[in-house]
Amino acid sequence: MSAELALIGPILAAMFAAATPLLFAALGETVVEKSGVLNLGVEGMMLMGAVCGFAITVKTGSAPLGLLVAAGAGAAMGALFGVLTLLLLANQVATGLALTLFGVGLSALIGQGFVGIPLEGLPKLNIPGLTDLPVIGQALFGQDLLVYLGVLAVPLVHLFLYRTRAGLVLRAVGENHHAAHALGYKVIRIRFLAVMFGGAMSGLGGAFLSMDYTPMWAENMTSGRGWIALALVVFATWKPVRVMLGAWLFGGVTIAQLHVQGMGIAIPSQLLSMLPYLATVLVLVLISRDVARIRLNAPACLGKLFHPDS
């Protein structure tokens, strides 16, 4: 096998790993936005999941407990957002931005005593005979559990949204909350649960960064991935399968810039580090040209406040 071909497997494995935090966060936000809620606090929820999951794992030595706490921390942040926007009717955009700032500051405070502490990453899957396959073995059969959970979450979310009654109700709330309320559905309760689910998924995405991808804790270690996840939801037109493909695309861009730097090509490293974010801006610009398609796929009540008596 040629040296070039031998590099494909590690590159694919790194791409899937880089896409995993985006996949978790974007899938969670897809469900949130399908319910008609716009939560821009994904970055803050990811950071809280990252620091809480890392801290619990370091203190207890239990990675499963760390992941559970990370999901709980993200869900708690989502619940805070829900209280402010669904119960107190605060502006969703402003509250989401405030949630991100709150998450950045609180995670830095909690993580002060954990900066620089190394952590053994999550165990990798190793299937004799499959993991050693050329090219695809390491990428498909040598990842850790969270990578596979992220991929598994795609069909599960798709089935929930489009093949279950609960998913139909959630989408109905996102399309017309007044009609859903008139039919007897608890709009606020449904949206509150969706927001907490989105927070838990963002928390798991952040935990993957601190417990496996790095693995260590550093302030603001998400580096804007929460914002990329938000853009990814629009890029995927609120479809779970497209979210996965988009996450792999952005993960590939991230890994590509790292490999270009490693090859010693005479391009400023700062410019290469900008590539994932430049790709995000470019994709949004291209998508924004098709306004009719966005309006067709976007939930009609996205970002609109609801009060039962209005």
Query: What CATH number does residue 91 fall under?
Result: 1.10.3470
Q: Can you give the residue range of the structural domain that contains 133?
A: 3-297
CA pair distance 197, 161, nearest whole angstrom:
13
Report if residue 304 sits inside a domain.
Answer: no
Following DSSP, what letter does each residue of 118-136 receive, concatenated? --PPPPBP--TTTTTSTTT
Report if residue 307 sits inside a domain.
Answer: no
Report if residue 310 sits inside a domain.
Answer: no
Compare 287 and 191 and report the one with higher pLDDT: 191
Q: What is the pLDDT of residues 31-81, one digit of tens each?
A: 999 999 999 999 999 999 999 999 999 999 999 999 999 999 999 999 999
The tokens describing 173, both together, are 């709330």
Residue type, 195: V
Buried b (16+ CB within 10 A) or exposed e, 116-149: eeebeebeeeeeeeebeeeeebbbbbbbbbbbeb
The tokens describing 154, both together, are 């795609």
Residue 188 Cα distances to 2, 86, 99, 185, angstroms: 58, 6, 19, 9
Report if residue 308 sits inside a domain.
Answer: no
Report if residue 96 sits inside a domain.
Answer: yes
Question: In 111-210, which residue ranges form alpha helices assigned H by DSSP?
Answer: 137-141, 145-163, 165-175, 177-182, 187-208
Threshold 0.85, pTM exceeds = yes
CA pair distance 51, 46, nearest whole angstrom:
9
Q: Which of 47-51, 87-91, 146-150, 267-271 is predicted with the least confidence, judged by mean pLDDT?
A: 267-271
Report if residue 201 sits inside a domain.
Answer: yes
Q: What are phi and psi of 262, to 5 degrees?
A: -65, -25
Would you state the pLDDT for residue 187?
96
The total domain count for the chain is 1
Mean per-residue pLDDT over the chain, rounded: 89
Report if residue 241 sits inside a domain.
Answer: yes
Report if residue 153 sits inside a domain.
Answer: yes
